[in-house]
Structure 1
Amino acid sequence: MTAHGANPFTPGFGLTPMILAGRAVAIDDFTAALAGNVPEARAILISGARGSGKTVLLTEFTELAMEAGWTDLRVHTSSSSLVDELRSMAIARLRELDPDAETSRLTSARVSGVGASRDVLDRYEGEGETITTVLDRLAELTDQDGGGLLITLDELQSVDRDQLHALTQHVQDLIGSGHAVAFIAAGVRPGVDALLDHERTTFLRRAHRIEVGSVDVGTAAEAIRMTIADTSKTIAPEAAVLAGEISKGYPYLIQLIGSKAWQNSGDADTIELEDVRGGSSGVIAAMIKNVHGPSLRGLSSRKREYLHAMLQDEGPSNVGDIAERMGIDPRNQSTYRERLIDDELIRPAGRGLVEFALPYLGDALRHEKEEGAATEPGSGLTRSHRSRRDPRPR
């Protein structure tokens, strides 16, 4: 048996994979923006469905900026005040970068002796420096170092609109002062679209929009193959093709089927077709639990009925057939259709046709119908860790 090291796939949300599929153009554009070739592309808004790779791309942009000498300030939507958090982080960086962050003051000295007493003063202690002053000083220092200031915000759909307006106002002021500043925000598309309807989000509406989603299955298969090629294992060509097909090109599923296949292959040198095929049910189960479960939770009964009406079709559904199955006027179905499109659960598939927008959503709905909730299917019995650690006499 050969030791092959750790599993190279990263199916957790927000974890950066070894190979990024379908993101080359976005990365090249941002690299050019950092270099100053297209500075207007330094304000970026990333949106997409859960598991589509929004946070991964934001993280990749951040790492590119840091490699180019930029300073990163990462703001969190869970913060009670985005502006206060931004100020605190900026001050922490200034204490590292500003040569004038600390000064000393002579407080006493002996006339005939050599001793003296001094107080060390922290320029940024307390509330003396406003956030405008703090950010301007930090941006000035990063400019001098040949880099810039990057401000990032994930889970944008959860942010308070007024706080977002205050934050982006400071970003605009820095840009207006001629500093090298980039701002990147990421969030799920329906929430981001709703946020952009607000009159105080003009800055974000002007940002460069990047929609992330699925890639073609051929690209997915190649991403899986390249990830494994960087290890001591290989994958059979037909196994890589099947893995790409199972993933449907969805970034989260690319990592998940790759991880399952790697795990199933054990100590073998090659991942075979049966290793990939054996991971299929686990992939669908995880997609149901981690992606479809949150999406379906809280869905209205009429929206859910619309989705269940689509289950009778092998491919795209005719909206007239859906209305008939629901027992409603065909003209009225458009209300639920538009809302479900906004929820990113369905998408247009041609004139008068719709289809599920996410892989395996039909499986999730069938499971929900049978089990009553979109939870991960499970089966089998296993002895708990406690029982193995503390066996009792039988």
Structure 2
Amino acid sequence: MENPFRPSFGAVPVALAGRSFALDSFEHALEDHPGSEQRSTLISGARGTGKTVLLTEMEMIAQDQGWEVLRLHTAAPSLAGELRELVLERLREVDPEASDLRISGGGIASIGSVRTERVDRYAGEMTTATALARLAELAGGSGGGLLLSVDEVQSVDLDELAGVTQLYQDLVRTGRPVAFVGAGIRSGIEALLGKDKATFLRRAHRVELGTVDLGTAAETIRLTVAGTAKRIGPEAAVLAGEISCGYPYLIQYVGAQAFENSADAEEIALEDVARTRGSAIRQMHMNVHGPALRGIAPGKLAYLEAMLEDDGPSSTAEIGRRLGRDHGYQSVYRRRLIEEDLIEPAGRGYVRFSLPYLRDSLLLRRQEHPGPDSPPDVTVRRTRSRSQEARRR
């Protein structure tokens, strides 16, 4: 039986948890509300909170309403260059005036000797701004518009992205039916808004993604399983929601693992779900926390490790004492860690880890990167190839 869960970053799940309001608002804005701030939307959140999924859903909503969608990719050598290529390619496909017949030669005496050739209207030096305006005009003529989207904003050259948003702003000013959706981690979004050319987007609608409540997580897992020949009981669904911590990526991962653990059984049992916790921690460590901690500054890492002594929220004053630093020094790292969605305020003078299983991941990291005073690992095992060679002798 095919597993209905999709625990891959960016993969659109069968059931989307807790994002209905953002999608409904965007759909409403595209229908007939050109002045709506939701036509310019910025999605931010930590990795695994569903930014790409939400952006993809918004693109699909736009396409269903007859909008042209141009997604720009962070891997492109030039964002502006990619935008130009995309819009010209699309114009050649949809513009009835994309090419013209032109007389290229022939004799005067005989009409039959006249030669013509088809000329590409968009092979010349048309500016990107003019091409965008033309595509938006054509899309608007059929009741739609033009949507520009950019994922992983933090990985884009911000000067180039600011230039793209300037083109978008010009289209808005001239009344063209256009929309823009950008997605990225919070620090990347804030860096974009700090650019002079992107000040227009400071008025954009902000969608901050995080975890969903545990009830929504459990219901998402239940609904996903309900579309298959299997079933999951209320207690098992609730436990799955609790293990996922309401984190969108883990909702899919825990659901997928529980589904696999149930093998050929008709029902996903409580023990099938309980067995997913250990692998969920390891998965978060490998795919979310590990990469984030790999290049982290020593001061920020020391702050996080100082929090490990607490089972719950940590006192910022106590963290400063453990670090042997004054309030001003440690507050710098606290602010940066909050900006990077690794910790969050937990009441006046307290902070806590903001992502599921980050504490467990830091403990695993200690095992992987022992300190200089740790005893060496002296276990030795003969490799299989050497053992085979010895047997042959």
Same fold (TM over 0.5): yes
Contact kept, 8 Å, 1:44 with 1:207, in 2: the verdict is yes
Comparing 99-108 and 162-171, the one that deviates more: 99-108
Q: 1:343, CA displacement in angstroms?
A: 2.1
8 Å Cα contact 2:74/2:156 also seen in 1:
yes
Match of 2:9 among 7, 10, 13: 13
CA distance in 2, matches of 1:105, 1:54: 49
Partner in structure 2 of residue 26 of structure 1: 22
Structure 2 counterpart SS, 1:118: strand
CA distance in 2: counterparts of 1:81 and 1:307, whole angstroms: 37
Amino acid at match of 1:78: A
Q: Distance in 2 between matches of 1:124 and 1:349?
A: 57
Matching residue of 1:381: none
Give aligned pairs, total.
374
Q: Secondary structure at the match of 2:197?
A: coil
SS at 1:367's partner residue?
helix
Distance across 2 between alignment mates of 1:32 and 1:81: 33
- 1:78-97, aligned counterparts within 5 Å? 78-97=75-94
The correspondence for 2:174, drawn from 165, 174, 177, is 177
Q: Hey, what's the Cα distance between the residues in 2 that align with 1:197 and 1:171?
A: 17
Shift of 1:160: 1.9
Whole-angstrom distance in 2 between the partners of 1:230 and 1:116? 65
Aligned partner letter, 2:6: T
Measured after TM superposition, the shift of residue 112 of structure 1 is 5.7
Letter in structure 2 aligned against 1:370: Q
Residue 59 of structure 1 corresponds to which residue in structure 2?
A: 56
Q: Which position in structure 2 is the counterpart of 1:287? A: 284
Instruction: For residue 58 of structure 1, report the CA deviation from its aligned partner.
Output: 0.4
How far did residue 116 of structure 1 move? 5.1
The counterpart of 2:217, out of the listed 198, 217, 220, is: 220
- Once the two structures are superposed, what CA deviation does each residue of 1:142-174 show, in whole Å capped at 9, x if it has no partner? 011110000001111122222122111111111
The aligned residue for residue 389 of structure 1 is none
| Partner residue of 1:129 out of 101, 126, 129 | 126
C-alpha distance in structure 1 between counterparts of 2:203 and 2:120, whole Å: 39
| 1:297 to 2:294 alignment | yes
- For residues 224-243 of structure 1, what are the structure 2 equivalents within 5 Å? 224-243=221-240
User: Could you give the per-residue CA deviations for residues 259-301 of structure 1, whole angstroms, max 9, x where no partner exists?
Assistant: 1111111121111111111122111111011110121122122
Alpha-carbon distance in structure 2 between the residues aligned to 1:331 and 1:102:
65
Q: Which moved more, 1:127-136 or 1:280-289?
A: 127-136
**Is contact 1:10–1:256 with CA below 8 Å preserved after alignment?**
yes
Change (3 A) 1:173 1:195: closer
Separation in structure 1 between the aligned mates of residue 127 and residue 354 of structure 2, nearest angstrom:
47
Q: Match of 2:315?
A: 318
Q: Point out the more displaced range, 36-45 or 254-263.
A: 36-45
- From 305, 310, 330, the equivalent of 1:333 is 330
Give SS of 1:35's match. helix
- Per the alignment, in what secondary structure is the counterpart of residue 71 of structure 2? strand
- 1:194 shift after superposition: 2.7
Instruction: Structure 1: give runs of 5+ residues left out of the alignment.
Output: 374-383, 385-392
Q: Residues 217 and 158 (structure 1 numbering): CA distance in 2 closer, same or farther, change over 3 Å?
A: same
Structure-to-structure mapping, 1:242-281, within 5 angstroms: 242-281=239-278
Q: For residues 212-236 of structure 1, what are the alpha-carbon distances to aligned partners after superposition, in whole Å with 9 as ceiling and x for unaligned?
A: 1100111000000011111111112
Residues 133 and 171 in structure 2, CA contact (< 8 A), matched pair in contact too: yes
- Which amino acid counterpart does residue 156 of structure 1 have in structure 2? V
- Cα 1:40–1:342, aligned 2, differ >3 Å: closer, same or farther? closer
Q: Give distance in 2, aligned partners of 1:187 and 1:152.
A: 11
3-state SS of paired residue (1:150): strand
| Superposition deviation, residue 354 in structure 1 | 0.7
> Identity of aligned pairs, percent?
52
Cα displacement string for residues 234-257 of structure 1 (whole angstroms, at most 9, x for unaligned residues): 112111001000000000000100
Please give the alpha-carbon distance, in whole angstroms, between the structure 2 residues aligned to 1:162 and 1:269.
55
- 1:306 positional shift: 1.5
Q: Given that residues 162 and 195 in structure 2 are in contact (C-alpha distance below 8 angstroms), is that contact kept between their aligned partners in structure 1?
A: no
Q: Distance in 1 between matches of 2:36 and 2:303?
A: 45
**C-alpha deviation, 1:115, in angstroms:** 6.6
Quick one: distance in 1 between partners of 2:328 and 2:89? 58
The alpha carbon displacement at 1:66 in A equals: 0.1
Does the CA-based 8 Å contact 1:324-1:330 persist in structure 2? no
CA contact (8 A) 1:161 1:200 kept: no
Unmatched 5+ residue regions in structure 2?
Answer: 371-383, 385-391
Structure holding more helix per residue:
2
